[in-house]
Each structure stands twice: as C-alpha cells, then as structure tokens.
Amino acid sequence: MASTEETRAIPLTSYETALCVVPPSHLTGDIDRLRALYDKAHGRWPPHANLIYPFVAPEALPQASKLLQSVLSNRREVDPIRLRLDKSDFFAHKRSNTVYLTDSGSDGLKALAQLQHDITDAFGGQSRSSGRLHLTVGQSEADDLAERQFLLEKVGLIPAVEWEVEELVILIRDRSQGLDTASSPMVVWGAVSLSGTPSPNPKALEYLSPSSLPARSETTFQFSPSQDDSEEGKWNAIPKSPAPTGGKLVDSPVTVASYNVLVESLHPPPTERYPLLLQNLLSDAASANILILQEVADDFLSFLLRDKKIRLRYPFATHGPPDQAEIGPLNSLRNIVVLSRWQFRWEWLPFDKRHKGAVVLQLEHLGTFHDSKFLPLVVTGVHLSCGLIDSSIMAKRSQLQTVLKYLSGIYPNNHWVVAGDFNITTSSYTIDTALKRKSISAQGASVLASLDGMLTDAGLLDCYYASRAASSGLGNPQGRLDLGASYEGEEGATYDPTENEHAARIAGQSFHSRPQRYDRILVRGVEFEVLSYNLFGIPSGDESQLASDHWGVRATVKLNGPRSGGLESEKALITVEKAPLNLGGIDGLKGWLKGYLAFPSNEEITQRQEAFELIKELVNRRDANLPAGTRLDLLFEVVPVGSYGFGVWNSSSDMDILVIGQVSPRTFFALMIAKLRRATDSDVVLLRKVKAASGIMLELEVRGVRVDLQYCAATRVVER
C-alpha cells in the first residue's frame, strides 16, 4: 500500500521531464533515418511516444518513480501490452504540421490508454493529456500541402513496428551543456518495468548519439525470382558478411551509365514520365553493367523495380522497392540509387548539407590485385548541390573534398569510377554573365574553375575527354548540325535548355538557359582505357516527349592488364641506353620514324592539300545566282597555321586555317555559314560554330579531315 507521501498529488506541469514509451532500437532504423532529415527534435529526443508530457519537476522524480512502481504493481491487466505502429497521420498546428506514426487500434493501444489514465489518476487526477499516442517522424510547413502529403506518404511506407512494451521510460532534459530549452537533449533518467520494478538497464539507453563515422555501411538488395510461376518473386536484403578476401581480375570491359531522372515537385509524383524513363533505361544506348540514378523518388523506384527486364539486367540494388511490405522508404525526395549486374557492398557517405551525400560501392568479386591482395573496384555515385551562387559553389567544393578525401584514405590503391550529376557549370557564357551581374563573386568564379583541377589532381580521368582523344566521333547528340552560336564549355552538354523543354522550363529565360555538361563519368587508374562514351535519353526525330531534363551518359572502360604496384607509386621505369648505329644520323632517324608510321603518308599529305585548296576556293567563291552588280567584291587571304602551317603535324592532327579579310568577323561567319548551307556537295560539313574567349571559330570536316576555321579582320594585309 502506498504511503501518504506517495499518494499526495504531484503536479504534471514540467517540460523538463517526460514519461514515454520507447520502441527497441533494432526496430527503429527506418524511423531514425527519416527523423534525421525531417524531425527538428532528432538527436535531442530518442524515437518515443509520450505517455505523459509535461511530467513532474526534476526534483520530484524519485517520488514519482515510486508512485509509478506502485501503480504498475497493482495493475489488473496482466496480459502483455503489444503495440503496432502501422499508420501515418498528422496534427495540424498554426504554423506547422506534425507527421507521425501511430497504432491503428490494436488491443495493446487500448491497454496502454487505460494505463495512462490510471497513472494520471494516481498523480492527482489531473486532466492534462499528451493526446493520441504517436511517434513523431517529422514536420512540414502549415501552408505547404504538397510537402505534408509527401512526408505523410513517405512515413506510411515505413514497415509496421511491433513490439511488446516491457517498460515505461522517464526522460529528463540535460541542462549540463548550458543550452536553451529547445536545444537541450532529453536523456534517460530511469525506467520502470510494467511489473512495477525498476529497470536496472533501461533499453532506451541503447540509443546512442548520431554516429560520427564518415560513412556508414548499408544493406544491398537482390532480386530473388519465385520458384512458383504464379508469383513475381521479391527483393531481399542480403545478410551482411565479412568483406571477401579474394576475387576476380577485371578482364572484360565494364560499362557504367548515369542518369538524372528528374523530380520536379514534392507531390504528386510525375507518373506520366515513368514509361519514357523506363524506355530510355532499357534502350541499347543505356545498357550497362552498373547504372547510377539521381533524383529517384519512392514511387518511381517501386515502378522501376517491378519491371522484369530491369530485374533481369540488374539483379542487385542499393535500395529495394519502397512499396514492398518489409522494405522502408528512401531517405529523401531526390535520392541516389545504384543498380548493378554484379553483387556489391556499399556505404553512404554523408555531406554537411542535409539530404546530400555519396553512394560508395565495392564490387565484391571484381577488382584488381596489389601485392597479391584483392582490391575491389570502387564505384561512387554523386549528386552535388545545384546552383550558381557563391554558397552553392563552396558547397560543391566541400562535397568533392569529402568524396576525394574518403576515397583516398579508405581506398588508396583501388581503381575508382566516380559518376553522376556534378552540377558544375561549364558554359563560359553563363559564368561570364553571372560575374557581370554579380550573381557570383570573383572568388566564387575562381573556386568554380578549380573544381576540375581537384578531380585531375586526384588522378581522375573524364571519360568524355578521353573518348574525344581516342577519336570516338562524338558530335551533336541528335545528329543535327548546330548552326547557332556555341560557347566554350557547352560541347558535350548533358543539360541543354536549347534542346530540352524540361530543362528550358526549369532554367527560364535567363543566362542559365545555356547548355551545361553537368553529368560525368570519371575513372582513376592508369590501366583504364576508355573504349566508348555516349549520351542516351535523347528522342529520335519522330518523338516529341522527353523523359527528363538531363541526357544520360554512358562509358565503357577496360583495364589493360594486372599490376603489381600501388597507384600512388606507379611509375614507368626508364632505362638509358646508347642509340643503335642506324640512328646515328638524321637520315637514319627519319627512316626509322617513317617505318613506325610517325610521319604522314603521301596519301594523307595529298588529302590535306586538297582540303586546304577546297577551303580556299569555298571562302572566295562568288554566288553565281546573284546579279553581277550585287555581288560583293571581297577577297580573302587563306593561310595554314598551327601544326599544319609549321609542317609538324601527324595523322591525328586537326588542320588550323586562318582567313584574313576586310569585313568584320560577324559578317564573315554569316557569309561563310550561308555558303555552307547552299553548298550542293558534301565534301565540307559544318560541325558547329564555337564562340570562345579567343573569338569565333567554325569546326568543319573536309573530306574526312577535321578543320578549325578562324578569321581575322586585317585590311592592309589583304591589300598587300
């Protein structure tokens, strides 16, 4: 029987303490993932459902604990209380909404409600209540219905959390750090088991502070076909195991693709674009061993992983379908998801900015060997912060530094692939205009220009440039002539408002509406050879609908043989020897070089001479269709420059030709483009018009030879 002191009313008015129910920590992984992003109280409160809050003053806790023990030991309800948090709902407040998980109406909820009533009576029958039992997962703005619905549906995808309540937990606000009330964390003061005895080791103590590790290991999913034809099969989590110590050398080409699938708004999901996205991902141009996707939402991932062809091509994934009962939702609105032909383990590397991070994969059985030790191939997917203002540029730099520091520290000798949407502005026009309009500072522009150098310093090779060096023949992605002005940094664009209506709508009518090469595939490792590179997701001529605001990118790379040393110490050994006698003179050296095809052949020399004469004739050609009196009497000097002009060119060199005339550059190029349009032969093909810092230039192809045609206005030179 309780003493007089124990039964005396204790005011339930203090926000310094709380009496609550805390689910076991091993059941709250999905809840805490979302709370970290959407709940302002994450890190200060454990996942909990308040039974009584406000509770008692801190100095009254010993007395309150004894009273709780008395109430619980006298419970008439002896059956275990099982709670099942299986329903998402929200409270609407004046300035916000609280989105939570609750029990949809189990017997356990009713028993807990009765227990709440009994405890309140024991403390003096005060009527203040914590309301409906709920576990808060996040908040949204009061007037943003789309945000509320988005969060409500995401919380609704959390698998049901069911457990037997064994104890009631008392939390107290920790004031030792000198923080204000809103910032002070709630820590476990104690707990009382439902049998009425103190819990010496409260299970709520299992909740630790958020991990300070730079990356956390995550679960890989694998599609398992059903043994019964009547069922579809399902995606299953692969149990975690120690990293393999052996594997297979990468001896065949590896194809990696990256695609930003575009999320435009919180709600509703853009389901009308899903079939187009799927069509692009299943196209021959996108076929890959590893597919890195950005801006993936719950609804689209569920749609994608239901497709039989996708599951056949990519049986492994970083995330399972959120609509499968036992699989939780994705963290954010825009997520990085990787699909793979091969099994892998992976880590999430968080950035400073919420919702941002990198996916780091280790292919479990595919890699290279270093001093007989197996080193898995490491594939990293990124989606850096967008925007062209100083703060977003600094964020990009910080995010790249985080990725490169982590990879260099954890995987110094592994081969890397880093791919995704880098959101690095490349158009010189956009950058110059942003500077002129003071959208970015000179320092911001300098940092932006340094980002490519960071990647190069880390040993990363851009597959786009490597494929160009290998003469892969990349031109306009849609196979059309680009007769409009193109600025430096716009070639190879993967985000092109001039061609893509989604990108045009997002960019608007501003200096941002220029082509940018945001999406990239980079590799590190001297043995990597880039075999091919292409864009995908570009509609053919008879298609008008676009799936995304980005084009996808794909690269095929190959490792040329094993190595014995590390990447950092890998240097070619040079042995100095005396030259053989047949290299003792100029004639001998020339003969030796000619034998190794270091000099152009006679056919190549003739081909370039003919190309030069053809350009010279075309530049000075008069339009025969115009009356003689209206023809401009213009004379242009045409001279070879660069390696061809100096006579030091080789078979892979372009031709640089300079035209000197009496008209302005704008007039000359307008006349030249008009001539090319009217030309009936196909010996001269206009590839594109480039407007770089050095001036305007036409890229041509003349009988198979690449020609850069430049112009200089110099009247006196021509008159001589």
**Reduced 3-state DSSP string for 654-709:** CEEEEEEECCCHHHHHHHHHHHHHHCCCCCEEEEEEEEECCEEEEEEEECCEEEEE
Token digits of residue 45: 């409160």
CATH code for the domain of 428: 3.60.10.10
Phi and psi, residue 709, nearest 5°: -105, 120
Regarding whether 196 and 279 lie in a shared domain, the answer is no
| pLDDT attached to residue 211 | 47
Asked if 27 and 136 sit in the same domain, the reply is yes
pLDDT of residue 247: 75
| The pLDDT value given to residue 562 | 53
Beta strand segments in 4-57, E: 17-21, 49-52
Where residue 372 falls (left for φ over 0; alpha for ψ -120 to 50; beta otherwise) is: left
517 lies in a domain? yes
Contact present, 306 and 321 (Cβ < 8 Å): yes
Question: Based on the domain organization, do 525 and 607 belong to the same domain?
Answer: no
Whether 222 and 274 map to the same domain: the answer is yes
The parts of the chain modelled with pLDDT lower than 70 are 1-8, 76-78, 126-130, 200-213, 229-230, 469-485, 541-544, 561-588, 623-633, 680-682, 692-694, 715-720
- Number of domains making up the chain: 3
Instruction: Assess whether 190 and 220 both reside in one domain.
Output: no
Prior bond of 412 cis (ω within 30°): no
Q: Which residues of 369-401 are buried (b: 16+ CB within 10 A; e: fewer)?
A: ebeeebbbbbbbbbbbbebbebebbebbbbbbe
Of all helices (H) and strands (E), which one includes residue 486?
Answer: strand 482-487
Q: Which domain-ending residue is among 206, 229, 248?
A: 206
Burial of 665 (0-12, 13-18, 19+ CB in 10 A): middle
Q: Are residues 393 and 443 in the same domain?
A: yes
DSSP string, 505-541: HHH-SSTT-S-B--EEEEEE-TTEEEEEEEEE----T
Whole-prediction pTM: 0.75
Strand bridging mode 186-193 / 167-173: antiparallel
* Token output for 333: 């609105």
Q: Which residue has the tokens 């009547």?
A: 230
Distances (CA, A) of 247 to 343, 377, 452, 557: 12, 10, 33, 19
> Is 678 found in the same domain as 601?
yes
Residue 476's closest CA among 508, 515, 502? 515
Q: Which phi and psi (to 5°) does residue 696 adopt?
A: -85, 150
Q: Would you say residue 580 lies in a domain?
A: no
Q: Same domain for 188 and 220?
A: no
Residue 26: domain span: 17-206
88 in any annotated domain = yes
CATH code (residue 60): 3.90.1140.10
Residue 535 belongs to some domain of the structure: yes
**103 and 192 assigned to the same domain:** yes
Phi/psi for 102 (5° steps) reads -145, 170
- Give the contacts of 253 (CB within 8 A, at least 6 positions apart): 531, 556, 557, 558
Single residue among 544, 559, 574 that ends a domain in this structure: 559
Q: In what order do the strands lie in the sheet with 254-260?
A: 234-237, 221-224, 316-317, 335-340, 290-296, 254-260, 552-559, 528-536
Can you tell me which residue has the tokens 């079939």?
Answer: 275
Residue 584 lies in a domain: no
Rounded-to-integer distance, Cα 118 and Cα 107, Å = 17
What's the pLDDT score for residue 576? 63
CATH code at position 695: 3.30.460.10
Q: Are residues 516 and 403 in the same domain?
A: yes
Task: Show which of 149, 174, 206 is a domain's final residue.
Answer: 206
For residue 646, being part of any structural domain is answered with: yes
In a domain, 478, yes or no: no
Residue 267 shares a structural domain with residue 192: no
Any domain includes 587? no
Instruction: Answer for the pair 333, 364: CB distance below 8 angstroms, yes or no.
Output: no
The closest alpha carbon to 391, from 439, 358, 432, belongs to 439
Can you give the pLDDT at residue 485? 61
* 22 and 46 belong to one structural domain: yes
